[in-house]
Amino acid sequence: MDLNPASPPMPALQDLTIGIRAQQLTSVIIWCTGGGTLHHWRTSYSLADSSVINDLGERLAGISLDMYQPHDHGYKTADGPNLHGCLQISPRTTRHGLYSTRSGVLEEINFSSAVTVQDIVDLVTGQKRQYYMFNPLGSGCLYWQLQLLRAFVSKGWIHSTDLSGVTESIGKYAKMYPDRVPFPPVEGQFYSPPQ
């Protein structure tokens, strides 16, 4: 008998930022985790106001966007591994930090205009970026994050030269660890949700 029942299917979006939507952000940081395995990529965003406290009394450092591939997803229809992604937008506390200190790549880009948590949520949901399927090779998170940064360039939130520098830095890192960081990134695909 399995004492660990399967977790419920994940949704396309888990947004945990309801109480901090009006907060202004100063920068975006792209970083990875993974050690000796295929790396997983996230972006984190620094809050301008360092005095924001969550419901548990913890000071917030910012938010993070994590497009990950859950074991099961609400839109999964076929047998076999799930390819549908789940986007989690969540607060990050100063205790846990904005990013992993063990990240192989850590690149920060300052916003060139005023951007709030609400702006990020609106861009993602307005462009339906939460509806994403990973590549059957089991990768696609770096591609998703870089596409998001390109959308920031289009909005005028970051400069294209800054994004080019980040992409170049990731490319150099990928040359050192080609088995951990496929580059150019493996592409997933955006999809239209079932009606």
pLDDT at 28 over 90: yes
> Is 28 in contact with 108 (CB distance < 8 Å)?
yes
Question: Average per-residue pLDDT in the chain?
Answer: 93
Model pLDDT, residue 71: 83
pLDDT of 106:
94
**pLDDT value for 2:** 33
pLDDT digits (tens, 9 = 90+) for 130-147: 999 999 886 899 999 999
Contacts (Cβ under 8 Å, ≥6 apart) of 192? 128, 131
User: What pLDDT digit, counting tens, does each position of 116-126 carry?
Assistant: 999 999 999 99
Taking only the tens place, the pLDDT of each residue in 68-85 is 998 888 888 767 788 999
> What is the pLDDT, as a whole number, of residue 1?
33
